Chains A and B, each alone.
Chain A
Amino acid sequence: EVVLTQSPATLSLSPGERATLSCRASQSVSSYLAWYQQKPGQAPRLLIYDASNRATGIPARFSGSGSGTDFTLTISSLEPEDFAVYYCQQRSSWPPLTFGGGTKVEIK
């Protein structure tokens, strides 16, 4: 099973700042990594698939990079609506499909 470790657990930033979230896989997942955003009481929303491809309708301030075992989600300038929990997920080796534990981006 591929274990995904996200860091940091919590990121405290102000609107307008840059957010950098990390996801590390226990073995190579090539580029088969996705990122999701989840707000309280809502279902997750797909942001990035295959490491660096923005999903339909996702603003350009969201970008993904990485391959193999180390991945990054970057939010170039935080908008008020970006404060949420972010999860990574791999589809390289499954079952099982696995998610990281999440990073909460909170307002400083």
Chain B
Amino acid sequence: QLQLQESGPGLVKPSETLSLTCSISGGSISSSGYYWGWIRQPPGKGLEWIGSIYYSGSTYYSPSLKSRITISVDTSKNQVSVKLSSVTAADTAVYYCARHRDTVVGVADQPAFDIWGQGTMVTVSS
């Protein structure tokens, strides 16, 4: 079955760029109708959506992060990546990648974040 796995540095210095990759196995990143999203969760706090990329390549970002975030896909590697520039301590969080969709075409379609990676903790500190 489809599995997502986040990877990247666990420690990033303030003002530098956070870079994470989500590797997808058991399915194609180009599957029609799906978005690949990033959600983060600061320690002890709730969930925050930071951005998504559609299978066609269109990107959607949180307005609060729009100036600092870039999400891209590498179809040859079946990976989605996120870069967040000029990080501060407020960017310290567990970062999750997750699949979602907006439409229901087939009986198996679930229009929500239906498959999640296990998450990766990123700490911003000098």
Contact = CB atoms under 8 A, between A and B. Distances in A.
A44 B47 contact: yes
B91 to A, nearest CB: 17
B63 A36 contact: no
Interface string B42-67: 00001111011000000011111000
A52 interface: no
Nearest to B6: A43
Contacts of B86: none
A96 B38 CA distance: 12
Contacts, number: 73
A36 B46 contact: no
Interface in A22-79: 32, 34, 36, 38, 42-46, 49-50, 53, 55-56
Given A87-B46, A100-B46, A95 B60 contact: yes
B95 to A, nearest CB: 11
A34 B62 contact: no
Nearest to B64: A96
Interface stretch (B13-21, B25-33, B113-121): B113-121
- The size bracket of the interface on A is 20 to 34
B111 A91 contact: yes
A99 B46 CA distance: 8
Given A34-B113, A91-B112, A101 B46 contact: yes
A93 to B, nearest CB: 12
A98 B49 contact: yes
Nearest to B117: A43
A96 B112 contact: no
A43 B47 contact: no
B49 A43 contact: no
A18 B107 CA distance: 30
Given A97-B49, A97-B52, 6 more contacts: A34-B112, A36-B113, A43-B118, A95-B61, A96-B64, A102-B46
Q: Which 9 A-B pairs have the closest CB atoms?
A: A34-B112, A43-B116, A49-B112, A97-B49, A99-B47, A95-B60, A96-B62, A102-B46, A46-B114
